Amino acid sequence: MTLQVLRYVIEVAACASISEAAKSLFISQSTLSTAIKQLEEELGIVLFRRNNRGVVLSPEGEDFLQFARQIVEQANYLENRYQQKKSSDMLFSVSTQRLPFAVRAFVKLMETIDPEPFDIAIRECPTYEVIHDVEAGRSEIGVLAVQHQYLEIFRKLLHSGDISQHKIHTLSPYVFVRQSHPLARKNALFIEELKQYPFITFDQGKNSGSHFTEEIVFYSQLDKIVHVSDRCTKIALVRATDAFSIGPDLVNSNGDKMHAGQQEICAIPLAGQSEQLDILWIKKTSRPLTTTAELYVRLLEDHVRRCFDAMPGRQGC
């Protein structure tokens, strides 16, 4: 049984004649008769009975026709839905580590393309999943913050997956604490000053080591470590406790629009460390960028540079 045969049954029922249905379907009468007969044999029922005016549905045929119409209508809906999307809708997906500037660029993308039909997606996920999404074609763009010392490891990993990388900028790490934190008034912070406070870091899952994180981690130098899987939890813990985070950016710092005026979180330069983070976007080498992806990359580059320009001195307090 196929969709085509179901359409044959519907047309024969509408025309009450195999010859007329064959004309309407642009097939021969013998082809149509054979298809109907094979379906009846497959189901073990009689769908049509002949009379002197053509054919009429049997009781089993009436019942079958109801379900056939439902199936064909659903199939037509699916075909129309995705054929229209192919021709008119913008389709775009980006996977990113938990990086606020990647989200802000996505927000700007939505504002820019708002008048047009679109179907777009953003996934915040661990580093390994970002790379896998791009390699598998699930996302057109991936956004990564990579510790500079591990950049060569990433180059080899990406190359093996036919993925090209494009560096946007290098950002220095900041310490993020709440405004009422005992260290919030410092102009710069050393790791030694942070040892007594909990360090909030992203969990990268079982597939990744510390070199896969979008942060600069100091596990060997810190005594209290809390692993979280998402940005909302990290922000909530930093806001509500004396815990701290280290990274290039965090929502509610650097004048983020979503929390303008609240200034709940301070960004303070991390002193005494030479580690930096290279901000990259990645794509499948063999896949040209769509117009929407090109627009997102431009917006992303703009937001990363804004983050860099805001770096000197303390932020957000």
State the pLDDT confidence band at 105, using cuts at 50, 70 and 90: very high
Phi and psi at residue 177, in whole multiples of 5°?
A: -135, 160
Residue 283, pLDDT > 90, answer: yes
Out of 186-200, 244-258, 264-278, 294-308, pick the least confident: 244-258
| Ramachandran assignment for 137, one of left (phi > 0), alpha (psi -120 to 50 degrees), beta (any other) | left
Residue 122, pLDDT > 90, answer: yes
Distance in angstroms (rounded) separating the CA atoms of residues 122 and 104: 11
Residue type, 167: K
Residue 250, pLDDT > 70, answer: no
C-alpha Rg value of the chain to the nearest Å: 30
State the pLDDT confidence band at 254, using cuts at 50, 70 and 90: very low
Q: Which domains, from first to last, does the chain contain?
A: 3-87 (1.10.10.10), 92-309 (3.40.190.290)
Average of pLDDT values for 59-63?
90
The mean pLDDT of the chain is 83
Distance in angstroms (rounded) separating the CA atoms of residues 184 and 262: 15
Q: Are 95 and 138 in contact (CB under 8 A)?
A: yes
Q: Are 127 and 212 in contact (CB under 8 A)?
A: yes
Residue type, 210: S
Of 222 and 63, more confident: 63
Q: Could you tell me how far CA 305 lies from the centroid of its own chain?
A: 23
What does the pLDDT read at residue 84?
A: 59
Q: What is the pTM of this model?
A: 0.64
Phi and psi at residue 178, in whole multiples of 5°?
A: -75, 160
Average of pLDDT values for 271-287?
87
